[in-house]
Structure formats: C-alpha cells, structure tokens
Amino acid sequence: MEIINNYGFVLIVVAAAVGFIMAWGIGANDVANAMGTSVGSKALTIKQAIFIAMVFEFAGAYLAGGEVTSTIRKGIIDSSYFIDSPELLVYGMISALFSAGVWLGIASYLGWPVSTTHSIIGAIVGFAAVGVSADAVEWAKVSGIVGSWVVTPAISGFIAFLIFQSAQKLIFDTDNPFESAKRYVPFYMVLAGFVMALVTIKKGLKHVGLNIPAEQDYIIAIGVAVLVGIVGKLFISRIQINPKSKREDQFANVEKVFAILMIVTACCMAFAHGSNDVANAIGPLAAVVSIVESGGEIGKSAQLVWWILPLGGIGIVAGLALFGHRVIKTIGNGITHLTPSRGFAAELAAACTVVIASGAGLPISTTQTLVGAVLGVGMARGIAAINLSVVRNIVVSWVITLPAGAGLSIIFFFMIKGIFAP
C-alpha cells in the first residue's frame, strides 16, 4: 500500500507508456484481420487499406470501446491472491502490457500474424504463476485457449471452403457468369449483411452500453440483411455488359462486385476489432489506474478515465500506419493467391466464426480465424495452391506466443519489482 501511495503517479505514467506500446502492437499486427484479404485480392492498395482501417479501427476503439472494462482480461487469474499486496498486481499488469507489446512488435516486424489476446493472456499468466503463485492462474481457461488453436481455424476454414465452392458452382462455372452473379450475389449480400450486423452489435456496439436482448440482435440483423439484399439487387441490376462478351470479361465484372462487398465487410470487421481488442491494451492499464486511485482496492471492472480510450485508439492507428503493411502482406499474399471472390469468402467465413464463437462462449482469436479462412479458400483449389512454408511459420508463431509473452513478462515483473520494492 505504501508503494502505491508514494509512487502512484509514476506507476500510472509508466502504465500509460507501456499501454500505448501494447496498443501500437495491436495496430501493427491485428489490423491484417480486416484488411489483409482486401489488399491481397487487389480490391484496395495497401495505402488505401491502411487509411480505411485507421478510420474504422479508431472509431471502433474510441466510440465503442466502452466506459467500463474488465480489469483482468478473460478472468485468467484470481484477484484474491493480490488483496494483501495490490502493488504486485500493478507491477504485473505493467510487465504484461510491456511484454505483450514487445512480442507483438517482434512478430509484426517478421510479418507473423499472431493473436494479441493470447499475447496479453500469456503475459498475465507468466507474472502471476512465477511472481505470485501457480494457484493464482485459472489453468482450465488457459487450456481452452490452447484448444482454440485447432478449433478456430478449422471452423472458419470449413465455412470459407463452403462459401467459395458455392460461388464457384453457382456463378463462375456457369455458361453466363455475370447473369448468374445477378441472380445469386444478392443472396451473398443478405448473408453478409446479417453476419456483419451481428458482428457489429455483439463485438462492437455492446461496448457503448446498448444492452440489446439477444432475440432483438437477430431481428435487427435480419432487417439489415433484407435492406442490404434489396439495395444490392438494385445496384447489380443496373450494371450492363455485352451478353456476347468473353467469359474472362464477365469474370472481371463479377470480381468487381465481390470487391465492393469485401471492402464493406472489411470496414465492419475493422470497427468491431477496434472496439473489442482495444481492451487488450486498456484493460490492464485501467486496472493500474483503478488500483492506484482507490488506494489499493481491486475491483472486477474499472471505470475508464477520459484519456485511456484516446490513448488506445491513437496507439492502434500509430502501429497500423508504421508497421501494419508487413502482416497485411503475409495474410494477403503469403498464404495463397487471392481474388476478390476468394477474399470475400474468407472475410465472411471469419465473421461467421466470430458470431458462432460469441454465441457458444468459445475463446477465439480473430487472427487465427482469418488465417484459417484464407487456408480454407486455398484448400478449395488444392494443397498446391497453399504456401506451406508460410503456413508453417504462422503455426510456429502461434505456439510460441503464449510462452514468449509469459517469459518476457516474468523478466519485466522482477525488474519492476526490484526498482520499486523498498
């Protein structure tokens, strides 16, 4: 308690600095979840993708990041172990933010798409298990996260495979692809509108404080889906091409339609991601501020002071602008060759998986979800269409994210404890 009273301001300043580093890492690494497929399929240039993502990621983080945040992400440790020594939780949250931010910076530099959620969880587990007690960690939840490494990509990959194969059979393999697109693309628009509305409500707008009952979520999403389908039908019916044009020209026009669809889904994913994953940076920061301002009291949630959300939003945008292009290239070009229709299938499959996981309460990484979806699209064209060396590097990076975050966190925890301990 004495340390918190004497060094409270210093601890908050240090926590804010490392919280910014963590937010920077989120922007550098996770933004590829929303924009990687758009760049890889050439629907957007990398500069356009970064600008659009900056707008929607910041809007999601600042407008829908929430007024209250959980002080301990995912309930991964038991706060009762810190009641008598709350300064240890402060040291731990600072070390967790710093270690996760450093690891995300390293992974982003190497172009590895890793999970920001798993990075911070690994860091929290590390300082808690070694610095406090192994019993302070909820190991069952950690094992659930490890299981998600297989389950999440498998689900999204399977859905992407089905979406892409359906588009191939219903549109691209027909005698008149553009006429088939006029008939069937509105149905894909309806599905996309429904799923993206649910993602925005469940992963984005829930942080605003809108407590919409579950059944109303689906009613709103159905309304949005129908509206999108009608507008899409009108838009496509106005596009005219020569019915005698070559199949290649028809393919190009169909891909243009899917490109527009994909950009819209990417914007929704960027908004939802900004609102949801900013908590990985501001949650531990809010915990430090809350503990210091309350004189050592540890609560399950913390009211955000006015400067925390802008700090997280600006950090995400800065990381995205400076380092985001590296992971975007891995997602968009490294795994398999993407076209707008393939990219749309991957993006929509990832969004579907997010909705399914949210409803089932499954631990999920948006990064692993999208990588699995891109793999599913690649598999639809055969194993030869996938760059296995890139996939191997990605899987290795997933496996080492938890221990890397934990190892760095342990080192930083004891360094910080040594600096402030009397």
- pLDDT tens digits, 224-255: 899 988 888 888 877 776 666 677 777 888 88
- What confidence score (pLDDT) does residue 252 get? 82
Find how far residue 235's CA is from the centre of its chain: 31
Residues of the chain with pLDDT under 70: 1, 64-75, 203-214, 241-245, 296, 299-302, 361-363, 422
Please name which of 75, 245, 262, 83 lies closest in space to residue 163, comparing C-alpha atoms. Answer: 262
303 Rama sector, left if φ>0, alpha if ψ -120 to 50, beta otherwise: beta
Predicted confidence at residue 166, as pLDDT, reads 92
Q: How far apart are CA 114 and CA 108, in angstroms?
A: 8
| pTM, full prediction | 0.87
Range of the domain at 16: 2-420
Q: What is the reported pLDDT for 137?
A: 84
Number of domains observed in the structure of the chain: 1
Q: What does the pLDDT look like over 109-118, one tens digit per residue?
A: 998 999 888 8
Which pLDDT score is estimated for 301? 66
Structure confidence at residue 69 (pLDDT): 57
In this prediction, residue 104 carries a pLDDT of 94
